[in-house]
Structure 1
Amino acid sequence: MKILCWNCRGIGNPATVRELKQLLIANDLEVIFLCDTKVQSNKFPYIRSKCRMEGCLAVNACGKSGGLVMMWKAGTKVEIKSYSGNHIDSFIHDENDKPIRFTGFYGNADPNNRKSSWDILKRVGRLVKERWIIGGDFNAILDNSKKEGGRRKPQTLMNDFREVIDELSLVDLKTDNGWFTWVNNREGTAMVKERLDRFLISASDVESSPLIETKVIRQSNSDHDAIVLDTMGRKPREKQRDPRLMFRYDMCWAKEAEAKNIIKNAWKMYTGDIMDKLEKVGHDLGAWQLKKYKMMSRQIDMIKSNISRIIDRPGERCDGNELKAMRLKLGKLLDKEEQYWAQRSRVNWLKEGDRNSRFFHVRATSKKKKE
């Protein structure tokens, strides 16, 4: 079971929807919880359809702030138990049909009203008898030593958060690949980095969940990064082999001088009729194309790692301009990757520019296997 939580800072922007679709497909998610959507619930049938999700429960925003949604894909059984402006509580049935209690949570951004959101969490907790996972943006930290920049948080606010965790017998799950989940994107001493987003789990379930894994996924468009929980994340997986790619004209090639040279050289070098030459050109382009994609995939992974390194640097060494540049570069590469796989897919339900490359990759490679 894979669950994603993300403070998307507004889902009304088409670029944010594309980012969400990329997250869904790239991480093979069953359930997603978004907070601070900034839209009314009547917008979500369209968004749910764009994301190819089966079920959806949305909570209206209050003006231009707040708003929640939980969506789940076909084949995932979800039962909504309760909801408010700060939470959506649900039953999710896992692969063995065992219910997991999952609560998507959004802590009140106003410190003066944060206790009201803690009270909601306590009320839900008193009813829980199952395995319980809570995830979202808590708008709170547990320790000033674990934040960088800005004013120190009042000790009373941190104590309130810690008391909730202790009262409900919860454990804070540390992410495997980073610490900070929010950066205010300012420069120099004005930069602030905090871990606002997290997953909590019932203390009684820790020993029975040895394979559970959580990670941060760096984003190109938001100051909040997404977090993902995978109940089987530490299970060993077989290494997937890179698929052979079908030869089909790629619109990316028109912008590549290297591809034009390969076509010219192959056409001059090989003899035979036009079909023989096309076969040889396709062979040479296919080898070049596979190498090119591997390089692009490595670049994406490298940029995500660089974003993490920049964010995790000590405050005085964290360059806000460098971070913005890296996020911009990541967005461009993700768009290019999507275009690459879109060309290889015979599926037409996504318009060019929608960043859904993992979906295209699955469809294109599975089609190849059938052929």
Structure 2
Amino acid sequence: MSWNVRGLNAPNKRRLIKSQLDLMKCDVLLLQETKLSCQGADFLFSKWKLWNFCVSPSVEASGGLAFLWNDVSTEFKLVVSTPLWMWALSSLHGKTVVFGGDFNAISSDDEKIGGILPNKRILGDFSAFIHNNDLVDCKTLNGLFTWTNRRKDLSQIAERLDHFLVSAAWISSDMDVVASVLPYAGSDHFPIVLSILDDRAPGRSSFKFEPMWF
């Protein structure tokens, strides 16, 4: 699961995130914009039993990343993280890559409604990044937009800013890769979930992780 939580300093927000994590039974949690220092993140996540974690602290009052995985997640490694928004993960054999997070970018005009027209340069750069790295943008099955300004009618702006990008070779393999949007829960970004099933073992996920900083 990937989620721009817009801060984890409030106790009610922390309880909300933990309840979502328990409900979804995810193997991996990618959080953006935690707004936590290293000390604050260590204090919080050390209380979440059965979960391992590594963090990138906030820059003053913005940003901050947290990568959490459970004890059975052992087949992937963290290869890069940006200071504010995104995680990149790779399989141990190096052939499968997953980028997940708030990219603050759309890949086509139909991924935004309302507000000013999309920035064509940013749109083009993001689309080129996907194409040049042989990635597939996993479209969510149950809704397009992942961010909204929470307004209605003509004042509403909604965009698909959060993405899972996976290796094209993985999509064409025996893996069934499905992305979905979760209901609104305390942030202007909706959580998104990537579910990966191995067709050779129906009903069981093979999407597991090992932490490693490069």
Is this a same-fold pair by TM over 0.5? yes
Residue 12 of structure 1 is matched in structure 2 by: 9
Q: Kindly report structure 1 stretches of 4+ aligned residues shifted beyond 6 Å.
A: 233-236
Partner of 1:147: 112
Cα distance in 2 for residues equivalent to 1:5 and 1:206: 19
One-letter amino acid of the structure 2 residue matched with residue 39 of structure 1: L
- Counterpart CA distance in 2 for 1:13 and 1:169 is 40
In the alignment, does 2:188 pair up with 1:223? yes
Q: CA deviation at 1:10?
A: 0.3
What secondary structure, in the 3-state scheme, does the structure 1 residue paired with 2:46 have? Answer: helix
Q: What letter is aligned with 2:10?
A: N
Quick check: 1:197 aligned with 2:162? Answer: yes
Say which of 115, 126, 129 aligns to 1:164.
129
Gaps of 5+ in 2: 204-214
- Structure 1: distance between partners of 2:89 and 2:97: 10
Residue 71 of structure 1 is matched in structure 2 by 68
Q: Quick check: which one's strand share is greater?
A: 2
Q: Look up the equivalent residue of 2:178 and give its one-letter code.
A: E
Q: What's the % identity of the aligned pairs?
A: 31
- Give 1:81 shift: 3.6
Between 1 and 2, higher relative CO (CA 8 Å, sep ≥ 6) is seen in 2
Equivalent position to 1:133, from 84, 95, 98: 98
How big is the shift at 1:187? Answer: 3.5
Amino acid at match of 1:71: L
Alpha-carbon contact 1:52-1:73 (below 8 Å) kept: no
Q: Does 1:27 find its partner at 2:24?
A: yes
Deviations 1:79-103 (A, max 9, x none): 44444404444456xxxxxx38xxx
SS in structure 2 opposite 1:212? strand
Give the match's secondary structure for 1:19. helix
Contact 1:133 1:200 survives alignment (8 Å): yes
Higher helix content, 1 or 2: 1
When residues 202 and 89 of structure 1 are mapped into structure 2, their CA distance, relative to the original with a 3 A threshold, is closer
Q: How well do the aligned residues superpose, as a CA RMSD in angstroms?
A: 2.2
Q: Aligned with 2:131: secondary structure?
A: helix
CA–CA distance in structure 2, aligned partners of residues 170 and 176 of structure 1: 18
Within-5 A mapping of 1:187-266: 187-232=152-197
For structure 1, list consecutive stretches of 5 or more residues without a partner in the other structure: 93-98, 101-128, 238-371
Amino acid at match of 2:95: E
Alpha-carbon separation, structure 1, partners of 2:126 and 2:5: 23
SS of 1:11's equivalent in the other structure is coil
Does residue 1:174 correspond to 2:139, yes or no? yes
Structure 2: distance between partners of 1:144 and 1:22: 35
Q: C-alpha displacement at 1:53, in angstroms?
A: 4.2
Report the 3-state secondary structure (helix = DSSP H, G, I; strand = E; otherwise coil) of the residue aligned with 1:152.
coil
Aligned AA for 1:85? P
**2:28 maps to amino acid:** V
In structure 1, what is the equivalent of residue 59 of structure 2?
62
Per the alignment, residue 211 of structure 2 pairs with none
Distance 2:82 2:144 in 1: 28
Alpha-carbon displacement from aligned partner over 1:223-260 (angstroms, at most 9, x marks no partner): 111011111198866xxxxxxxxxxxxxxxxxxxxxxx
CA distance in structure 2 between the aligned counterparts of 1:197 and 1:32, rounded to whole angstroms: 14
Query: Which protein has the larger Cα radius of gyration, Structure 1 or Structure 2?
Result: 1
Deviates more, 1:175-184 or 1:208-217: 208-217
CA 233–11 in structure 1, closer or farther in 2 if over 3 Å, else same: farther
Compute the TM-score of the two structures, normalised by the length of structure 1: 0.50
> Does the C-alpha gap of structure 1 residues 88 and 180 become closer, same or farther in structure 2, counting only changes over 3 Å?
closer
